[in-house]
Amino acid sequence: MTLDASAAPLLTVRDLHVSFTRGGHTVQAVSGVSFDLFEGETLGLVGESGCGKSTTGRAVARVIAPTSGSVVLGDIDLTTCRPSVLRRERTRLQMIFQDPISSLNPRRRVRDIVAEPLDIWHSAKGQERTRIVTEMLEAVGLDPVLAAPCYPRQFSGGQCQRISIARALVMRPKILICDEMVSALDVSIQAQILNLVEDLKAAYGLTVLFIAHDLAVVKNVSDRVAVMYLGRLCEVAGADDLYRSPRHHYTNALLASAVEPDPDAPRTHAPLQGEPPSPLNPPSGCRFRTRCPRAEERCATEVPELREIEPNHHVACHFPVEIRDRAA
């Protein structure tokens, strides 16, 4: 997909901060994240555990309140609008989580789980309700006649994830935020769900924020990818471009750490030693500087801002990685 940079984004996130205070300590989970989500695209958000992906997703969906910053959907700022407006707007923005089984109420039948948003909003009753539930179950690849009267425990993890998707789609949202939605699934089931997301996105004109730690999974479904480290975005670019020519040193190391099912792939040594620093006390300047092979003095004193170094390729680094083979 080529992006028209002049088009107005559907969702705009600016300088998002989220911190959690616990036992006198403050964790800066998200520290100044900005990005746009364009209509019809899938933006992947990738990074290692604890870097703030879920917190970003939850703040965007307004499941949690950000400490500061703005999240603008259409022309409504979800961080400042009135609660009644927020309630309505939130139906246009749905979330799907990693653990499908625990996110479904075990005591309710599938048809009532899927219809729950309709019931809350009194938007459909009787035959109309049944019709919508049937359509949604079919759309996610479940047999409505068999599935509707059953309880979640009668389904496998992959099927439960389909039920979660049906419930998320029932209000016809504009935006789907998927947080590690396939991480607990085996690869054959994962492939079914990833293909389903691609199909539903086309069928329902969805815009997707796809959060995951798996680099290959994220590339597979995304048009653009944002890489996150210790609460900040390092790099945002088109998926193929980013994986071919990473410009941030963290992206570069992350990609070099991943394994591919190919015996001829070069077996490199671990590119990064040690573990990320604590978000309780993040490094000054560039947060990656304590592990970056290219770090200089300036990296400790000056926070690198995300800037566009080539069309549609943004990087937050004072000394970006040189472009490698671009012909491939």
Partner 1 sequence: MSTSAPDTAVAPDAGTERPTSGELLEVTDLRTTIRTPRGPLVAVDGVSLRLKRGETLGIVGESGSGKTVLSRSIMGLLPGRGTMLTGSVRFDGQELVGAPESLLRSIWGPRIAMVFQDPMTSLNPVHRIGRQIAETLRLHLKLSKKLANQSAVTLLAQVGIPSPELRARNYPVELSGGMRQRVMIAIALACGPELLLADEPTTGLDVTIQAQILDLLAEAQRMRHMAMIFVTHDLGIVATRTDQIMVMYAGRAVEFAPTHQLFANVRMPYTEALLHSTPRMGNPSHTRLAAIDGRPPDLVSRPPGCSFAARCPYAQDKCREESPMLVADAAEPDHFYACWYPRGTSTPVHPQGAPSDA
Ligand X SMILES: Nc1ncnc2c1ncn2[C@@H]1O[C@H](COP(=O)(O)OP(=O)(O)O)[C@@H](O)[C@H]1O
The binder of 55, among ligand X, partner 1, Mg ion, none, by C-beta within 5 to 8 A per type, is ligand X
Compute the Cα dihedral for 104, 109, 113, 114 and give only its sign: positive
What is the chain's Cα-based Rg?
Answer: 21
Is 51 a binder of ligand X (CB under 6 A)? yes
Closer of 161 and 245 to ligand X (Cβ): 161
Q: With CB under 8 A as the contact rule, which of the stretches 5-13, 60-68, 103-111, 263-271 interacts with partner 1?
A: 263-271
**Binds partner 1 (CB under 8 A): choice among 6, 82, 83, 270:** 270
Is 221 a binder of partner 1 (CB under 8 A)? yes
Q: How many residues bind to ligand X according to rule CB under 6 A? A: 13
Q: With CB under 5 A as the contact rule, which of the stretches 3-11, 20-28, 50-58, 275-283 interacts with Mg ion?
A: 50-58
Give the C-alpha separation, 214 to 165, whole Å. 20
Give the C-alpha separation, 181 to 179, whole Å. 5
**Binds partner 1 (CB under 8 A): choice among 265, 280, 300, 323:** 265
Find the binding residues for ligand SF4 in span 284-303 (CB under 6 A): 286, 288-289, 292, 294-295, 299
Q: In angstroms, what is the minimal distance from the CB of 320 to Mg ion?
A: 27
Picking from 304, 300, 283, the residue whose alpha carbon sits closest to that of residue 230 is: 283
The Cβ-side half-sphere exposure at 247, using a 13 Å CA radius, reads 28
Q: How many residues bind to Mg ion according to rule CB under 5 A? A: 1
Q: Are 98 and 180 in contact (CB under 8 A)?
A: yes
Tokens of 272: 């990064």
Helix 110-120 × helix 157-169 angle, to 10° = 20
Q: In angstroms, what is the minimal distance from the CB of 67 to Mg ion?
A: 18
The CA-atom distances, in angstroms, between 47 and each of 4, 7, 118, 235, 301 are: 26, 28, 35, 11, 24
Question: Per-residue string for binding with partner 1, 171-190, x by CB under 8 A?
Answer: ---------------xxxxx
Q: Are 198 and 191 in contact (CB under 8 A)?
A: no
Q: With CB under 6 A as the contact rule, which of the stretches 166-174, 183-191, 205-213, 313-321 interacts with ligand SF4?
A: 313-321
Give the C-alpha separation, 233 to 231, whole Å. 7
Q: In angstroms, what is the minimal distance from the CB of 13 to Mg ion?
A: 17
Find the binding residues for ligand X in span 23-42 (CB under 6 A): 27, 29
Is 232 a binder of ligand X (CB under 6 A)? no
Is 255 a binder of ligand SF4 (CB under 6 A)? no
